[in-house]
Structure 1
Amino acid sequence: MASTPRTRTGRGRGRGRGSGSSSLPPPPSTLPLIIEEFFIVVYEDPLVKKVRTPKKFADYLDGKEPAKVYLRAADCGPRLWTVEVLFDGQGRMYLDKGWEKFAIAHGVDFGWFVHFKYEGDDVLTVKVFDGTMCRRYYYSDDEDTDDESDDDVKPCIHPL
């Protein structure tokens, strides 16, 4: 007795709905480059004058390079730290004057990770992870949100 081939009814695995059009996303090479988040690992003295950001982030800002950015520590109130930005002409971007004050106020040290999220309008929200790879949480005890004063560094406080 000969066997008859079975036909599929369209209810099996791997079948999509509709008229057969694919619902797969476009290949990565056709998607726009959006770099909203990056991190740096502190391998050198965190109190150096400047810190290099990833090249892809600098490339993302190509054509709209800011002269300064504003750092906001996540969960540390509305305070913005003004940090000047340098571009070296070879596609690299550095956080320069103002980075040292931010690092001191947040206790950034060797082996720490600093996560940045670009919020637009030249604002970067920052999360700091210490040498144990745990996030440091801060709170602000000052009402002043103006960072233009060079008198002293007003730190965000890390509860012990």
Structure 2
Amino acid sequence: MPPKSPKAKKKRFPTRKPHFFKVLLGDFAQRLRIPPKFLKHISSVGSKKAILQGPSGSKWHVELGKDMKDTFLTAGWPKFVEDHSLREYEFLVFQYDGDMHFTVLVFDTSACEREDVFAVRPRRQPRQCEGKRKRGRPPKHSPEVGCIVKSEAIEHGMSLELRKDDVHQPNLLQIQPFQQAECGLPSPAPACDVKVEREESELLINILRNTTKRSKGGRISTRRPLTEIERLRAEEAANSFTSAFPYIVMRMAPSQVYRPYMRIPKWFSRAHLPPKRSNLVLRDPSGKSWIVTYIPSLRCQISRGWSVFARTNNLEEGDYCVLELIGPIELRVHIFRAVEAEETLEIATTPTA
């Protein structure tokens, strides 16, 4: 048999396409840092623009920006985040196809690909709130930031920012409480740095287990780790729920039960909830009513009042809640627990002298 030609070998072994992945943390809604070691694949191109092809096959145009040492996806990236309703602790896999074209896969915190983004198409850019300025007056905020408001700021939540030179170096995990801002970047309060010796591939597990279990209110869960059977049992029970009213099944992630807000998928919010900030009524399984604040922002969420509801009803990671819309501003909450009777520890905070 004659030896195979170089052309045949090339066809059999196609050119490798490099990949990188990112856990969505901190200010990911405004910009996304490209791993420094990955820059060798795109440094020769020299372009300041890139194309992101989402799971649906649609394309989003973004720009690359730099600071003293890092390169980020900037202008156009917030629209990609909004259109795909990306949430903290989800992660993305970027495949570089060449010529500044990336194919992006979206995974949720269960490590499974999100199927709801397979049909996402680019939507119109939301209006900016910068308004008119006097001639010669410098802009107050960078145009890359626009009108995005950090939703964590509203209820004094915590935002996480990862700073790391490469995946083989120690991570510096910075935890910052944000102050409220009407437009542009929130004003960070003094930060506290926590060094976490982990590789980026372990970061998601580390954060879910160690960082988010303590909210500002001081709640810590002491429930034992769930078995896969317990997780599946709660999921099956929740998915068996049916109603003539609109409803949505929500798996309780650490960020929803140990922090002062719960995010609602944008498709449900736009279809069934008020278009403006308003109060909603949550009715728990015992029939008790709870007033909470609903905020239809970049990340639609229930904030004020949610942490008390979650704590009083002993919600834990792995439980499921079905939110059933029984009135214009009233939601009946059905709770499907992974484990029925579990102990939690509440840390009492006392003022310092």
- The 5 Å alignment of 1:10-159 reads 36-47=18-29, 49-74=30-55, 76-77=56-57, 79-88=58-67, 90=69, 92-137=70-115, 138-140=117-119, 150=125
**CA distance in 2: counterparts of 1:141 and 1:112, whole angstroms:** 17
- Deviation at residue 39 of structure 1 after TM alignment: 0.5
Report the 3-state secondary structure (helix = DSSP H, G, I; strand = E; otherwise coil) of the residue aligned with 2:45.
coil
Q: Gapped runs of 5+ residues in structure 1? A: 1-33
What TM-score do you get using the length of structure 2 for normalisation?
0.29
**CA distance in 2: counterparts of 1:151 and 1:100, whole angstroms:** 10
- Letter aligned with residue 127 of structure 1: L
**CA distance in 2: counterparts of 1:66 and 1:35, whole angstroms:** 19
Q: Is the 8 A contact 2:79 2:125 kept in 1?
A: no
Report the 3-state secondary structure (helix = DSSP H, G, I; strand = E; otherwise coil) of the residue aligned with 1:124.
strand
**CA distance in 2: counterparts of 1:44 and 1:141, whole angstroms:** 24
- Letter aligned with residue 41 of structure 1: V
**CA distance in 2: counterparts of 1:150 and 1:125, whole angstroms:** 21
Change in 2 beyond 3 A, CA 1:35/1:89:
farther
**CA distance in 2: counterparts of 1:133 and 1:141, whole angstroms:** 20
Higher CA-based Rg: 1
Q: Is the 8 A contact 2:83 2:120 kept in 1?
A: no
**CA distance in 2: counterparts of 1:131 and 1:123, whole angstroms:** 26
- The CA deviation string for residues 129-160 of structure 1, in whole angstroms up to 9 with x for no partner, is 11111111233376xx7x8x6368xxxx8xxx
- Letter aligned with residue 54 of structure 1: P
Change in 2 beyond 3 A, CA 1:63/1:83:
same
Report the 3-state secondary structure (helix = DSSP H, G, I; strand = E; otherwise coil) of the residue aligned with 2:105.
strand
The structure with the greater share of residues assigned to helix is 2
**CA distance in 2: counterparts of 1:96 and 1:132, whole angstroms:** 27
Change in 2 beyond 3 A, CA 1:126/1:104:
same
What TM-score do you get using the length of structure 1 for normalisation?
0.60
**CA distance in 1: counterparts of 2:17 and 2:64, whole angstroms:** 17
Q: What is the number of residues matched between the two proteins? A: 112
- Deviation at residue 44 of structure 1 after TM alignment: 1.2
Q: Gapped runs of 5+ residues in structure 2? A: 1-15, 128-266, 268-353
Structure scoring higher RCO (CA < 8 A, sep ≥ 6) equals: 1
- Deviation at residue 107 of structure 1 after TM alignment: 1.5
Q: Is the 8 A contact 1:46 1:108 kept in 2?
A: no
The structure with the greater share of residues assigned to strand is 2
Change in 2 beyond 3 A, CA 1:140/1:35:
closer
- Letter aligned with residue 80 of structure 1: K
